[in-house]
């Protein structure tokens, strides 16, 4: 029997916020298999600098799961996060870069990228689906009062604290995995069972939230992408190009790694007992070795309050 989802009773449209990671991929499969109500569309917000395995998983899930089930996958893009950071003529929303301030204190830029490159375009697509006007320049207008759709977000029961509202009335965030009481392990098992064991979290190649383990994997397994990240890290030392061109230079130096060292010199290979100490001062509660298992998910994990390691304070861009 197809389970009924609380928020899916009212809205006529079921949308999936689709990152091609473990939980949202499990939701796509469950919907395609009839274990959950039918998704009308799954929206992938592409920052332009996702990992090759994310694009590969997206293609495979589209061809082998979504298309046969008649589920549309829509790829949305607000720009190219890497190019935009380096181009003085591009609009840029700051990444959560680690900053060494001029007085030697540590900071972290306020994260705007998840909102610009993911949430805003997912919501614009939602408004478009709800019949809002699309202007010549691509902007999408408002929805009529009372209209809404159900936005499925992949949060498992062991991570319920990550569940957040969308912040707008016309997109009602819905958490099918929570309602079904499924854990992350359950969703991974479901993917394994259906031949999608290799699905991994989605995140930008040069995301400052990348854990030490993630950087080592990139360096050891994907040298081309590692070189991109190292090059980018060097290029953003003085902050983003647009701000500098507009006379708002960064008052300090920016880094991708919280050690405030160039990425290719950062202590990503330090013995485990030293990684926390070197990276976040004396506080060992931040797991920078393994990082966050979920990557950059709109309306989950990092899209809420900025997460800064102890000892880092927020720095305005
Ligand atoms: S993965 Fe990181 S850099 Fe990319 S949008 Fe998310 S928070 Fe920003």
Q: Is 114 in the pocket of ligand 1 (CB under 6 A)?
A: yes
pLDDT surpassing 50 at residue 266:
yes
Q: Is 18 in the pocket of ligand 1 (CB under 6 A)?
A: no
Cβ proximity of 43 and 17 under 8 Å? yes
Cα gap 88→181, rounded to integer Å: 47
Instruction: Give percent above pLDDT 90 in the chain.
Output: 56
For residue 304, how far is its CA from the centre of ligand 1 (angstroms)?
12
For residue 187, how far is its CA from the centre of ligand 1 (angstroms)?
23
Q: Write the burial class of residue 235 (CB in 10 Å: 0-12 exposed, 13-18 middle, 19+ buried).
A: middle
For residue 114, how far is its CA from the centre of ligand 1 (angstroms)?
6
Q: Is 113 in the pocket of ligand 1 (CB under 6 A)?
A: yes
Q: Which atom of ligand 1 is nearest to the CA of 203?
A: 1
Protein residue with its CA nearest to atom 3 in ligand 1 = 207
For residue 133, what pLDDT band results from cuts at 50, 70 and 90?
A: very high
CATH number for the domain formed by residue range(s) 6-79+112-193? 3.40.50.620
In the block, tokens 């691509």 appear at: 138
HSE-up of residue 17 (Cα within 13 Å, Cβ side): 30
Q: The whole model's pTM is what?
A: 0.86
> Where are the domain boundaries for CATH 3.40.50.620 in the chain?
6-79+112-193
For residue 255, how far is its CA from the centre of ligand 1 (angstroms)?
14
pLDDT at position 316: 58
User: What mean pLDDT do residues 198-220 have?
Assistant: 88
For residue 98, how far is its CA from the centre of ligand 1 (angstroms)?
13
Cα gap 14→128, rounded to integer Å: 14
Please enumerate in sequence order all residues whose Cβ is within 8 A of that of 268, keeping only pairs 6 or more positions apart, or say none: 212, 215, 216, 219, 257, 275
pLDDT at position 305: 43
Buried b (16+ CB within 10 A) or exposed e, 106-132: bbbbbbebbbbbbbbbbbbbbbebbeb
For residue 8, what pLDDT band results from cuts at 50, 70 and 90?
A: very low
Average pLDDT, the chain: 84
> Could you tell me the maximum CA-CA distance found in the chain, to the nearest angstrom?
62
pLDDT at position 93: 75
Protein residue with its CA nearest to atom 4 in ligand 1 = 204
Q: Write the burial class of residue 179 (CB in 10 Å: 0-12 exposed, 13-18 middle, 19+ buried).
A: middle
Please enumerate in sequence order all residues whose Cβ is within 8 A of that of 276, keeping only pairs 6 or more positions apart, or say none: 283, 284, 286, 287, 288, 289
Q: Is 302 in the pocket of ligand 1 (CB under 6 A)?
A: yes
């Amino acid at each position: 029997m197809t389970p009924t989802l609380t928020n899916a009773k009212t809205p006529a449209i079921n949308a999936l916020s689709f990152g091609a990671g473990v939980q949202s991929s499990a939701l796509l499969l469950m919907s395609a298999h009839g274990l959950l109500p039918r998704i009308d569309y799954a929206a992938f917000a592409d920052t332009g600098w996702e990992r090759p395995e994310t694009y590969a998983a997206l293609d495979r899930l589209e061809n082998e799961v979504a298309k046969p089930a008649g589920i549309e996958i829509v790829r949305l893009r607000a720009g190219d996060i890497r190019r935009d950071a380096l181009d003085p003529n591009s609009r840029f929303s700051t990444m959560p870069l680690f900053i060494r301030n001029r007085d030697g204190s540590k900071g972290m830029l306020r994260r705007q990228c998840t909102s610009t490159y993911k949430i805003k375009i997912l919501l614009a697509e939602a408004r478009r689906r709800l019949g809002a006007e699309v202007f010549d320049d691509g902007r999408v207008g408002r929805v009529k009062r009372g209209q809404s759709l159900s936005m499925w977000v992949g949060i498992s029961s062991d991570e319920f604290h990550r569940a957040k509202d969308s912040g707008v009335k016309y997109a009602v965030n819905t958490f099918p995995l929570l309602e079904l009481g499924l854990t992350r392990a359950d969703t991974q098992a479901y993917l394994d069972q259906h031949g999608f064991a290799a699905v991994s979290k989605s995140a930008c190649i040069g995301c400052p939230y990348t854990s030490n383990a993630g950087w080592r994997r990139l360096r050891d397994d994907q040298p081309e992408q590692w070189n991109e990240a190292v090059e980018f890290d060097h290029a953003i030392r003085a902050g983003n190009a647009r701000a500098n061109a507009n006379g708002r230079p960064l008052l300090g130096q920016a880094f991708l790694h919280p050690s405030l060292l160039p990425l290719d010199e950062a202590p990503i290979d330090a013995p485990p007992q030293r990684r926390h100490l070197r990276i976040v001062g004396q506080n060992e509660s931040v797991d920078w070795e393994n990082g966050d298992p979920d990557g950059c998910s709109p309306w989950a994990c990092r899209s809420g309050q900025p997460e800064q390691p102890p000892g880092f304070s927020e720095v305005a861009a």
